[in-house]
Amino acid sequence: VINASPVWDITENRTNLTGFGQTACIIDTGVDYTNPSLGNCTTTQFLNGTCNKVIEGWNFVNNSPNPMDDNGHGTHVAGIISGNGPIKGIAPDSKIVALKALDKSGSGYSNNIISAIEWCINNTTKFNISVISMSLGGEVNYTNYCDTNDTYEADNPQYAQLINEAKSKNISVVVATGNYDDISEANYSNTPGIASPACIKNSIRVGASDNNDNLANFTKRGGIFSDILFAPGVNVLSTYPSSLCNNTPCNATGNGTSMATPHVSGAILLLNQYRKETLGKVFAPGEIKSKLVEFGKKVNDTFGTFLNYSRIDVFSTLIGVDSSPPRISLLSPANDTVSNGTINCSCSAKDD
């Protein structure tokens, strides 16, 4: 739906654009690194640092080096971003750092989430982290930026400070806008707004759509946030912890802005790999967000507040940001005539 797979066949510097060399820091319920699509590692291998997919992590809930998922949510998110096996993620050759800030019930405290964001920022160079993916949010709906709003959620200024710091280091912080618990609330003309920390100005906000590009009725939106990016978040198949499947590797479908967010995170990894291969640096977060908006497919909101939301299209965005000149791969005959500045020959050129 988001045209990620055509990007995998494109090469830069003889390397396919599959997320190679890029790492996502996933702040969630942890990740089951034993899943065949997420490294198929043992706990010993992970703790020894020899897992080739989930390369590092920390459990802030239990203050432990083992971020094993006991809920399922984080593993599902990880497969969408980076799965490489029976489940193929958006950036299948990318790496994962798993930070468990949410507990077995899927809930958590702001101090653990804030500590996890700090961890990602402090370790960005060591693990080449270019994306922080957070499929989480608070209960309050904000219709405007909440960077300094401490009326309802006192931690918002801390979120803003860290997200701004991440931006200064070219780390894109991708955050779910949140879901309505009661679908009857989904007429957001009555209850508009999005959750924190998606309402932080420099976050990249993500809502959910279905495979027919209808906006999911559960996705929070509205307020001033016309820059919400949409991605598939309905009936998304991804990885799931074996501990919740009779100790057998398994997959599951999920719904929510939590499932849409990792689609955008994976897309940014692909585009950052392209920029890294061509210019030696990744995209600035504001730039990549604006490009995903510009080159995405325009989708209508059934409630009509914004008629020009963008559902991401990775291939179209790559073509839109491609500034590399085509390279001539064949000239024949080799030494033909040149007259008036024109090469008179039979040529074949392709853009790698």
Known catalytic membership, residue 263: no
Rg (CA), the chain: 21
Find out whether 150 and 200 touch, Cβ atoms under 8 Å: no
Q: Quickly count: other Cβ atoms within 10 Å of residue 286's Cβ.
A: 12
DSSP codes joined into one string, 156-201: HHHHHHHHHHHHHTT-EEEEE--B-SSGGGG-TTTS--B-TTTTST
Q: Which amino acid is at 41?
A: C
Which candidate in 32, 37, 70, 73 is catalytic? Answer: 73
Active-site residue, selected from the candidate residues 135, 258, 265, 310: 258
Choose the catalytic residue: 28, 103, 147, 301.
28
In the chain, the amino acid numbered 158 is: Q
Told to judge if 103 belongs to the known catalytic residues of this protein, a careful annotator would answer no
The residue ranges of DSSP E strands in the chain, in sequence order, are 11-12, 15-16, 23-28, 54-59, 95-100, 129-134, 172-176, 204-209, 229-232, 236-240, 250-254, 297-299, 309-311, 327-332, 338-339, 342-343, 346-350
73 is annotated as an active-site residue: yes
Whole-angstrom distance, CA of residue 252 vs CA of residue 235: 9
**Type of residue at 260:** A
Amino acid letter, residue 193 = G
The catalytic residue positions are 28, 73, 258
